[in-house]
């Protein structure tokens, strides 16, 4: 009997290959990887606290043996890396990329197939990906599902939106992990554009907080030629498993070795601000691919847009379908009388932009076909070069140029992706010829002709194709209804903006919850900037369209703060020019605030409650502060210790009045000026759905401080 026990102990010892361990550069993180009975498993600790418990790795393949077990380790490689790189635009002028790496090569002995798993451990978390090397027995294969696990160490508090293969346009729900399925079933009422997967499936970036105060974020980086990842939770053991967006046939990925997957990311911090300041997602992307990026410029713009979203104006020139593609018979079509993209109206926007220092004017509804699309004509697709008769392309091009303003193109694909690809060269050449250097693309509706999902591999490949084709023409892309960004802007900075979440437009038809902008920076913005389109001053939408009873859940002070808290190198002043003219003192902050930064700090933050950022202008010594607040009245307390010692500054504070409220009194704001130094402190009231914004200008002349009190 003693010999039998020794034999089984011997076998048990060798069933778990010696664990490979990796520490982060600062030593706070510890990764352990092992093959247990042929199954690859990893776990992650932070300062001795478990972040991810034993979690399996692998793939289920179609029509061949799975890549889930039967593995042995045949090679390991360790390395370290440390660099500092300069982004084309960003929240800071320099980003440090410092990690320790472990590359483990596995052999599936029975099938004689190899799989490499590469781990990179940073001071702010872990990134890992799969790599399929050149080999004889795994060349072409189809992924049925990726089965990467993230076993959580507790029933964490989470901020989430339901898994959906076509949209991220949901309000966020806050709950325990164990409550996701019940909350999703009860609280989510899908509209026409929403089709939640169900169960306990959520989208990344997923933000969580453990009971002992650890902040954890799950996401992905470098989503290239692969399907978008969702997270499916087993609520009995708090383990997430990846769920990839399928193609029209239900397949998750078509692969040919050698290939790599996107990185799976786990960002961890003791403070909420640690998550917001992490640049791991960008660091896991490839360096700049453009030989020349000098033409990629941050943009502050206005646009002919909000008036259409609210129903005040129309995209289409006629209110009935015209005829066939290329035969636009407007003489026989009844004009709407509300077409916004007409020459004289656009000139008014150009004049306003020029007067107030904006870079560009977006114009939607300029091209023929909207009447057909809204009329549900199945024969019509946009050609992206034919304007309505009341939109003078060349005249407006020359007028905008004379005013020092760019025009921003709009391409709504109507989901007809192959049609868009056929027209891309012609459409981008048209843009070059008419002085457009940026385009807002749209993918509203079902993807035709096959009904692919917006987030499957097929569409991910399309978005990347458009981005790279645009770079050939030196065109910047602002993609709406596309897959959420995953740091690709490091490689292709002409991806200057995305929507990929529930933006301001929803305030015109349903509304966003007051805590929405206190969550998005922890979730959607982890992978890149969002074209959130802030700056709405007249929050009662019925003033634009009496038939629309919606309202924007915000105060004016918070709308100003969003230019700081919702980072983007592409920022829109979304309201109508005539509305800004009613509040020119508040509008001054939008005119002053930059869209490119040299340094960013988080002064206060708690997901779902509040965020306070301080950012330094890349082109001056000026600082700007923004605070976004949820539905609870709060007092923000900050110090100005980020300012240069020995210098004086003038702080202009745009804040809520005491009786301000996002619903009942949104336009109650006040503006005060103080002299501040790095020793100053501020205690500032924030109304429900409110916040504040501060511009901080270095004192260079004593006259700047005349009559001002020191804070």
DSSP sequence for 70-90: SEEEEEEEEEEEEEEE--SS-
Of 45-59, 144-158, 217-231, 445-459, which range is least confident?
A: 445-459
- Give, in words, the CATH class of 299-598: alpha beta
319 within 8 A of 336, measured Cβ to Cβ:
yes
Q: Is the dihedral of CA 52, 55, 58, 60 positive or negative?
A: negative
The conformation of residue 178, written as its DSSP 8-state character, comes to G
Q: What is the pLDDT of residue 449?
A: 80
Does 344 participate in catalysis according to the annotation?
Answer: no
- Model confidence at 326: pLDDT above 80: no
- Unique residue bearing structure tokens 């129903």: 311
- The answer, yes or no, to whether residue 376 has pLDDT greater than 80, is no
pLDDT > 50? residue 8: no
Least confident segment among 23-27, 278-282, 380-384:
380-384
Q: How confident is the model at residue 417 (pLDDT cuts 50, 70, 90)?
A: very high
- What does the angle CA 524 – CA 591 – CA 562 come to, to the nearest 5 degrees? 25
pLDDT digits 0-9 by tens, 648-691: 999 999 999 999 999 999 999 999 999 999 999 999 999 999 99
pLDDT beyond 50 at 246: yes
Instruction: Write the DSSP symbol of residue 98.
Output: E
pLDDT of amino acid 16: 52
| Every domain of the chain and the residues it spans | 18-283, 299-598
pLDDT band at 334 (very low <50, low <70, confident <90, very high): low
Q: What is the mean pLDDT of the chain?
A: 94
Catalytic residue among 149, 412, 499, 505: 505
Least confident of 11-15, 170-174, 219-223, 285-289: 11-15
Largest interatomic CA distance in the chain: 99
pLDDT at 408: 98
3-state secondary structure of 222: coil
Res. 7 pLDDT band, cuts 50 70 90:
very low
CB of 507 closer than 8 Å to CB of 552: yes
Given a cut of 60, whether residue 68 has pLDDT beyond it is yes
pLDDT tens-digit readout, 147-184:
999 999 999 999 999 999 999 999 999 999 999 999 98
CB atoms < 10 A from the CB of 617, how many? 20
- Would you state the pLDDT for residue 333? 61
CB-side exposure of 570: number of CA atoms within 13 Å? 29
Report pLDDT for 1: 43
Q: Does 11 score more than 90 pLDDT?
A: no
pLDDT over 90, % of the chain: 89
Strands 669-676 and 709-710: parallel
Asked if 18-283 and 299-598 have one fold, the answer is no
Q: What CATH number should be reported for the domain whose range is 18-283?
A: 2.70.98.10
How far is it, in rounded angstroms, from Cα 535 to Cα 421? 34
Is the pLDDT confidence value at 78 over 80? yes
């Amino acid at each position: 009997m003693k010999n039998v026990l020794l034999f089984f102990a011997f076998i048990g010892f060798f069933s778990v290959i010696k664990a490979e361990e990796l520490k982060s550069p600062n030593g706070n993180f510890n990764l352990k990887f092992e093959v247990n009975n042929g199954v690859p498993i990893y776990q992650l600790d932070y300062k001795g606290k478990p972040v991810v418990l034993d979690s399996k790795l692998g793939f289920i393949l179609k029509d061949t043996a799975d890549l889930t077990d039967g593995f042995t380790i045949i090679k390991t490689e360790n390395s370290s890396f440390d660099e500092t790189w300069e982004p084309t635009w960003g929240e800071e002028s320099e980003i440090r990329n410092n990690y320790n790496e472990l590359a483990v090569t596995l052999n599936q002995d029975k099938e004689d197939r190899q799989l490499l798993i590469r781990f990179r451990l940073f001071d702010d978390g872990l990134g890992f990906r799969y790599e399929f090397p050149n080999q004889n027995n795994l060349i072409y294969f189809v992924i049925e599902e990726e089965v990467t696990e993230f076993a959580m160490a507790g029933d964490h508090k989470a901020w989430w939106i339901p898994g959906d293969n076509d949209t991220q346009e949901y309000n966020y729900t806050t709950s325990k992990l164990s409550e996701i399925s019940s909350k999703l079933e009860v609280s989510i009422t899908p509209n026409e554009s929403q089709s939640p997967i169900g169960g306990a499936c959520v989208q990344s970036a997923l933000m969580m907080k453990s009971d002992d105060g650890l902040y954890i974020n799950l996401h992905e980086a470098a989503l290239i030629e692969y399907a978008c990842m969702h997270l499916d939770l087993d609520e009995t053991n708090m383990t997430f498993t990846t769920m990839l967006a399928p193609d029209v046939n239900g397949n998750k990925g078509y692969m040919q070795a050698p290939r790599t997957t996107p990185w799976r990311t786990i960002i961890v911090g003791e403070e909420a601000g640690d998550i917001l300041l992490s640049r791991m997602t960008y660091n896991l992307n490839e360096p700049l691919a453009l030989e020349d990026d000098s033409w990629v410029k941050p943009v502050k713009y206005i646009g002919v847009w909000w008036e259409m979203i609210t129903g005040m104006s129309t995209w289409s020139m006629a209110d009935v379908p015209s005829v066939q593609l290329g035969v636009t018979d407007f003489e026989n079509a009844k004009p709407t009388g509300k077409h916004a993209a007409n020459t004289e109206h656009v000139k008014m926007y150009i004049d306003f932009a020029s007067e107030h220092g904006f870079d560009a004017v977006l114009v939607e509804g300029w091209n023929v076909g909207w009447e057909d699309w809204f009329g549900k004509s199945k024969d019509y697709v946009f050609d992206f070069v034919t304007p309505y008769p009341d939109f003078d392309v060349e005249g407006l091009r020359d007028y905008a140029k004379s005013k020092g303003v760019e025009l921003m193109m709009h391409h709504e694909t109507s989901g007809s992706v192959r049609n868009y690809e056929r027209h891309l060269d012609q459409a981008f050449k048209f843009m070059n010829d008419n002085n457009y250097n940026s385009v807002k693309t749209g993918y509203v509706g079902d993807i035709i002709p096959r009904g692919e999902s917006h987030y499957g591999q097929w569409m991910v490949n399309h978005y990347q194709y458009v981005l790279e084709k645009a770079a050939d023409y030196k065109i910047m892309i602002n993609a709406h209804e596309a897959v959420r960004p995953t740091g690709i802007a490091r490689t292709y900075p002409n991806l200057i903006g995305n929507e990929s979440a529930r933006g301001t437009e929803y305030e015109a038809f349903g509304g966003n919850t007051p805590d929405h902008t206190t969550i998005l920076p922890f979730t959607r913005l982890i992978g890149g900037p969002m074209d959130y389109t802030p700056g709405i001053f007249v929050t009662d939408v019925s003033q634009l369209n009496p038939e629309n009873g919606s309202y924007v859940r915000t105060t004016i002070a918070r709308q100003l703060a969003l230019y700081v808290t919702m980072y983007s190198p592409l920022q829109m002043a979304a309201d109508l020019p005539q509305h800004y003219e009613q509040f020119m003192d508040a509008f001054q902050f939008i005119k002053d605030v930059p869209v490119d930064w040299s340094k960013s700090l988080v002064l206060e933050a708690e997901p779902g409650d509040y965020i306070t950022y301080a950012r330094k202008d890349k082109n001056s010594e000026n600082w700007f502060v923004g605070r976004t607040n949820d539905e609870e009245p709060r007092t923000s307390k900050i110090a100005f210790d980020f300012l240069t010692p020995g210098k004086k500054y003038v702080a202009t504070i745009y804040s809520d009045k005491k009786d301000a409220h996002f619903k009942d009194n949104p336009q109650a704001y006040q503006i005060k000026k103080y002299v501040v130094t790095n020793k100053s402190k501020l205690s500032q009231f924030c109304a429900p759905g409110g916040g504040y914004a501060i511009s901080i200008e270095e004192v260079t002349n004593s006259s700047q401080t005349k009559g001002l009190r020191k804070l």
